[in-house]
Amino acid sequence: MFDNPGGFFMNLIAGLPAIVIAMVVHEYSHARVAYALGDYTPRLQGRLTLNPAAHVDPIGLLMLFLVHFGWAKPVQINPNNFSNPRRDDILVSLAGPASNLVTAFVTLIIFVMLIKFDVGLSEGALVVINLIIIYNINFAIFNMLPIPPLDGSHILRNILPYEMARTYERLEQYSFVFLILILATPILDWVFVPLQKIIFALFKGVAGILL
């Protein structure tokens, strides 16, 4: 899921800030949008902050490096606090992946500007910047998969008719099995590689127009 060139220690050192940024941005955006839509649960749980300690799960972070699959602390929300529960739950779910894409794009813009103005960057800095872009794009793509409890499943559940949504919810008990099967097969490569290339090419094209 989060493969990148280099050995384990290079991934650990260069990938740590990139993964933490992706996790924090993702979870903070869920919390901020939920709060803006009337749910005070994230505030009561201390999630309206960019402090990594509030969002990063140490075990989930370690698993990312060991088996390339991990997790952050999920933001708990109460849809009953929303004025329009189904619509607002979709907006909250979209907020995380959308924030990751914005972070990737802004990082790319900064990178292009640094190159344009001939700012000297070390090889390590280049790797970190590259990984911030890659990991944020990957976070967005992965979390939009319609597998409970990922964001994509919340979106799909809320647009399905009621009975179909209830049936779909019952699949959550098998979600870990689904994730393991997907990670053990080339399916993610079939999804990630094309989407990653499309998104990155789109970002580069827009950056080229703006700069």
Domain layout of the chain by residue ranges: 8-210
Rounded Cα distance, 6 and 128, in Å? 12
pLDDT in tens, 89-124: 999 999 999 999 999 999 999 999 988 887 877 888
pLDDT in tens, 143-160: 998 988 899 999 999 999
Mean pLDDT highest for which of 83-92, 172-181, 191-200?
83-92
209 phi-psi bin (left φ>0, alpha ψ -120 to 50, beta other)? alpha
Q: Which residue has the higher pLDDT, 201 or 169?
A: 201
Averaged pLDDT for residues 160-186: 82
Q: What value does the mean pLDDT of the chain take?
A: 87
Task: Choose among 14, 161, 156: nearest CA to 90.
Answer: 156
State yes or no: is 27 an active-site residue: yes
Question: Measured between alpha carbons, how far is residue 100 from residues 114, 132, 155 in Å?
Answer: 21, 10, 17
pLDDT of residue 28: 98
